[in-house]
Structure 1
């Protein structure tokens, strides 16, 4: 179903970074701070932004302020990083201060701001391509050989979380399972000339260098938003050989693996909402060290 994909992913260790940098919680900026740490750990972003010479130095330019703060994070480690200008640039672009934000929404907003506000469009596209997941949505008629397909891409993989114990493997399997469309859900088939039962699903075409996984822990119903604190386990290294023919391992630059495991969720526990995985060689996967 997913073809022969030859990508492999390996852990990004602290040795691959410039070391951790302190970020103060400024006007409820903890969500943005976490994303800044992942952008810093993704060294490719800093390297690409270093190549960019902005034509304008406007204060509301998110990619310019991101470039500045990532540069500052590489310098003297004895002081917290001055990142207020970056946070204010987000505020001027609609990501408001003093507000609890969804990490995935802020992540996608920052990538979109880079596409919109960078005057070097090929360079902006290179940054987006670091996260681009190519997928094919298909609709297969159950009464004839007709198959309708649409190729698109995602910048993060949105995975539904069940309300009991779950795992990353189960969430991914559910995401790629086809759905039976019957009864009032039947779709029109041009070959049959009528609405027919069909199967709908998503095929993975390619994975990016950095895979962002969004665990959807919130449910809306009866006018309320409910957070799911249920336990969702995820491995330090993830082997796609049986599901997507891929191998992945987590990019957690801020913590040891033991600390990361405390974010599986459950009552009175921290809960992870976003996971970052880095692609590497199969040889690196054989030694998946993660230092703290």
Structure 2
């Protein structure tokens, strides 16, 4: 590496240190993982749980995702001058079938990381604590349209997948559509235990509880005529969101939470088309509450107005994942 290139990277690291954030070098098409790591680093609750995990006997385990995640998040909190060492984490994901040199879907990688934490973390209490951090608990109700009997079951998601329309969308509208009742007829009819056969049904979903960290996926990729197309249409989303004001009707009878106000703290952005693209991230700093833009090794301070440019539009980076934090338990800065 030439002296000029070394000086460039030294200056970049110095600036990132002043910003209080560390960039991540793009290795082997790692922009997807880099953007997720910036978002996970801004999720201080996750790092706090991992710090409680005693890992003395796992130091050499290069296949253990929660162990390598704990290490890389700690490294991202430390000071430069050295680049953040996240190659071990990338290689660990590669050994767990999230391969290098392949373009990945950010939401799929995010869910894979959470699932691997559940599989590989031997402290089951802490593993469950991490799952509960993201757990969206729901009740699915299926009503037979002939006998009116209702079948209910509890389920959960770790990321809320929201379909978008090809014109203007709002986050509130997308959420309302997700919880709308759907009629299932014909080939989609469901088995009714009361009638003993498949019958037309009405399906509805209600919220039992909301998590501390609400992760939302805006489903911008759609399969059409055998090929995948990206939808660049606009999806507006607020910096703060209150379920109790906007979507109280989606609460189940068992919903008992008082704190339903959320603040946005991370946005994973996709640039490009469905078959070729690049991921970046906007994250909000824990201490100074300022927004930053992370594009691999380059980090710069930005603003909420710049975050809003990711609403959508042709030839622009578009928000793909949104991470909201419930306001009530946000810790004070030290």
- 1:144–1:89: structure 2 CA closer, same or farther, 3 Å change rule? same
1:184 deviation in Å? Answer: 4.0
Aligned to 2:52: 51
Contact 1:22 1:79 in 2 (8 A): no
Deviations 1:41-74 (A, max 9, x none): 1111111111212232311111111111111111
Contact 1:231 1:266 in 2 (8 A): yes
2:265 to 225, 246, 251: 251
2:320 to 254, 273, 280: 273
Q: Which runs of 4+ in 1 moved over 4 A?
A: none
User: Within the alignment, does 1:228 sit opposite 2:275 as a pair?
Assistant: no
User: Within the alignment, does 1:142 sit opposite 2:142 as a pair?
Assistant: no
Aligned to 1:97: 100
1:124 to 119, 127, 137: 127
Query: Gaps (5+ residues) in structure 2?
Result: 1-18, 252-259, 267-283, 285-291, 294-302
Q: How does 1:1-292 map to 2 (within 5 A)?
A: 19-54=20-55, 55-56=57-58, 57-240=60-243, 241-244=245-248, 246-252=260-266, 253=284, 254-255=292-293, 256-281=303-328
Q: Distance in 1 between matches of 2:144 and 2:36?
A: 42
TM-score, normalization by structure 1:
0.86
Contact 2:149 2:194 in 1 (8 A): yes
Q: Distance in 2 between matches of 1:278 and 1:88?
A: 30
Q: Distance in 1 between matches of 2:187 and 2:47?
A: 50
Task: Report the structure, 1 or 2, having the larger strand content.
Answer: 2
Aligned to 2:299: none
Q: Distance in 2 between matches of 1:34 and 1:194?
A: 48
Deviations 1:147-177 (A, max 9, x none): 0111011000000111111111111010000
Q: Distance in 2 between matches of 1:47 and 1:243?
A: 31
Q: Distance in 2 between matches of 1:81 and 1:265?
A: 31
Q: Distance in 2 between matches of 1:25 and 1:113?
A: 23
1:197 deviation in Å? Answer: 2.7
1:121 deviation in Å? Answer: 1.4
Contact 2:32 2:104 in 1 (8 A): yes
Query: Gaps (5+ residues) in structure 1?
Result: 1-17, 285-292
Contact 2:241 2:261 in 1 (8 A): yes
Q: Distance in 2 between matches of 1:183 and 1:92?
A: 44
Bigger relative contact order (CA 8 A; separation at least 6): 1
1:29 deviation in Å? Answer: 0.9
TM-score, normalization by structure 2:
0.75
Contact 2:161 2:217 in 1 (8 A): yes
Q: Considering only aligned residues, what root-mean-square deviation do their CA atoms show, in Å? A: 1.8
